[in-house]
């Protein structure tokens, strides 16, 4: 098959690292892949990894300006902007595509409702609701259920889990019990990853209980100023390191020294694959809560707020982990890794190809007016939010 993947950028993030593994498997299966990026000038830290694969890499602007007459069997889009851009350029005849597949890898990506003034969110929900059900692929069942609240038919959409490349993330050696207890979080500091705002108080409480723990945070994003404020308020500046963005190749080394991992997305799953006791944090939540270690959670949804599962306080779970014997600690790491075996890469790529082959050629019409309204609303929201944050009138 000839596959086009349209993504926002290729910086370090869960979707981007997933796409790297997926593309690698597509090539192993003999398929051709081209990647189009909406933000080619973004600090795309993963572009070198992408260039190491046999893929075409182009700015999406090249389609807007000159078109791309090569026919693709399928286009996989990964967020609302890539969906609107792809549908519009197909309508204009600048992109030749058989089927359009919507990848849904974040809890509320296509069903977010931020109120009546966010026209782009409403238009996203409208267009997504008119996609053929078989052309939407969800990363887990909780994400699918969340979208089905707005679009009930999506409860029947295919669900294919993310990839955890166990070759890239082997089981780490047993941890030295005398090593420093560094809790690690990796990922962009996006608005829905609210555990970054509750973790400072978790660290404070653990240290007040006499546990000498620290927190290493890798990533940058919109939550960082508020995080820094909360770290200062909790008086734990000496125990926290905000280490910024990292080279993806360094993640296994970082995880090898971690005492525990707290976070969401693919990085949590990669930590678990390494045998690090990993606690998935509940996204969008203003409380420091988790559903437990991956092996304690039924199913393959770990951090979506709508899960009807018992919740646990992160302080309690981490305190019990600190009190575990070395054998108990390593057993938790082994169980975390065993849970990740469901996400091994070869079978995931084969299931994607099956979906591509069965996909509908139908796609919703966007039209010039709806496309322009989406772009304008998204720009106003983005620029307006940035201005309000500069003025101190909005935190995130």
DSSP assignment string, 91-103: HTTSEEEEEEEEE
Q: Is residue 198 part of a domain?
A: yes
Query: Dihedral sign, CA of 88, 94, 96, 102?
Result: negative
> What is the value of pTM for the model shown?
0.71
> Which CATH number goes with the domain that contains 52?
3.40.50.2000
Indicate left, alpha or beta for 325 from its phi (over 0: left) and psi (-120 to 50: alpha).
beta
Average pLDDT over the chain, rounded to an integer: 92
Q: Is residue 384 part of a domain?
A: yes
Same-domain status, 330 and 214: yes
Query: Dihedral sign, CA of 290, 276, 246, 105?
Result: negative
Asked if residue 394 has pLDDT above 70, the reply is: no
Same-domain status, 356 and 332: no
Same-domain status, 337 and 368: no
The CA distance from 95 to 131, in Å, is: 18
Same-domain status, 311 and 354: no
Tally of domains within the chain: 2
Same-domain status, 90 and 11: yes
Same-domain status, 138 and 23: yes
Burial 342-359 (b: 16+ CB within 10 A, else e): ebebeebbeebbebbeeb
Q: Is residue 37 part of a domain?
A: yes
The CA distance from 318 to 307, in Å, is: 21
**241, 215 Cβ separation under 8 angstroms:** yes
What pLDDT is attached to residue 164?
83
Query: Dihedral sign, CA of 134, 342, 349, 30?
Result: negative
What does the pLDDT average to over 370-390?
Answer: 79
Q: How many CA atoms lie within 13 A of 376 on its CB side?
A: 8
**263, 187 Cβ separation under 8 angstroms:** yes
Residue 241's SS3 state is: strand
Asked if residue 162 has pLDDT above 90, the reply is: no
Task: Write out pLDDT tens, residues 254-311.
Answer: 999 999 999 998 899 999 999 999 999 999 999 999 999 999 998 888 998 888 899 9
What pLDDT is attached to residue 107?
86
Other beta carbons within 10 angstroms of residue 176's beta carbon come to 9
Residue 39: which pLDDT band, with cuts at 50, 70 and 90?
A: very high
Same-domain status, 222 and 140: no
What does the pLDDT average to over 151-178?
Answer: 90
The stretches of the chain forming alpha helices (DSSP H) are 14-28, 47-51, 61-66, 80-91, 119-129, 141-148, 195-208, 224-234, 251-256, 266-273, 314-322, 326-339, 345-358, 367-390
Element (H, E) at 180: none
Q: Is residue 172 part of a domain?
A: no
Domain that holds residue 124: 2-163+349-390
Task: Write out pLDDT tens, residues 323-363.
Answer: 999 999 999 999 999 998 878 777 899 999 999 999 999 99
Q: Is residue 220 part of a domain?
A: yes
Same-domain status, 333 and 364: no
Same-domain status, 186 and 312: yes
Same-domain status, 308 and 364: no
In the DSSP assignment, the letter for residue 279 is E
The CA distance from 222 to 191, in Å, is: 7
Same-domain status, 337 and 381: no
What pLDDT is attached to residue 395?
58
Same-domain status, 206 and 67: no
Choose one of 328, 343, 358: the last residue of a domain: 343
């Amino acid at each position: 098959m000839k596959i086009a993947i349209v993504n926002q950028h290729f910086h370090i993030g869960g979707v981007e690292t997933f796409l790297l593994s997926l593309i690698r498997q597509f090539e192993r299966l003999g398929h051709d892949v081209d990647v189009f990026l909406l933000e080619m000038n973004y600090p795309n830290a993963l572009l070198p990894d992408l260039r190491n694969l046999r893929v075409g890499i182009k700015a999406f602007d090249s389609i807007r300006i000159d078109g791309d007459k090569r026919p693709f069997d399928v286009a996989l889009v990964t967020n609302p902007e890539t969906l609107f851009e792809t549908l519009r350029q197909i309508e204009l005849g600048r992109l030749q595509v058989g089927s359009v597949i919507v990848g849904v890898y974040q809890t509320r990506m296509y069903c977010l409702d931020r109120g009546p003034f966010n026209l782009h969110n409403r238009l996203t929900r409208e267009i997504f609701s008119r996609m053929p059900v078989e052309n939407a692929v969800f990363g887990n069942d909780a994400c699918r259920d969340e979208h089905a609240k707005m679009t009930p038919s999506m409860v029947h959409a295919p669900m294919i889990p993310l990839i955890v490349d166990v070759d890239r993330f082997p089981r780490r050696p047993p941890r030295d019990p005398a090593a420093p207890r560094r809790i690690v979080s990796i990922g962009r500091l996006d608005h829905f990853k609210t555990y970054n705002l509750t973790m400072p108080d978790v660290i404070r409480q653990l240290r007040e209980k006499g546990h000498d723990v620290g927190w290493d945070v890798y990533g940058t994003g919109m939550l960082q100023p508020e995080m820094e404020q909360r770290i200062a308020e909790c008086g734990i500046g000496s125990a926290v390191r905000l280490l910024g963005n990292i080279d993806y190749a360094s993640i296994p080394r970082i995880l090898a020294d971690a005492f525990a991992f707290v976070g969401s997305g693919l990085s949590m799953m990669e930590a678990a694959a390494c045998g690090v006791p990993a606690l998935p944090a509940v996204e969008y939540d203003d409380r420091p809560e988790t559903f437990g270690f991956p092996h304690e959670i039924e199913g393959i949804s770990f951090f979506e707020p709508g899960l009807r599962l018992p919740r646990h306080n992160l302080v309690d779970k981490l305190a019990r982990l600190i009190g575990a014997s070395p054998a108990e600690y390593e057993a938790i790491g082994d169980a975390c890794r065993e849970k990740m075996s469901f996400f091994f890469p070869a079978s995931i790529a084969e299931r994607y190809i099956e979906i591509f082959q069965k996909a509908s050629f139908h796609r919703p019409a966007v039209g010039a007016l709806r496309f322009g309204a989406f772009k304008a609303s998204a720009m106003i929201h983005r620029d307006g939010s940035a201005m309000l944050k500069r003025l101190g009138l909005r935190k995130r």
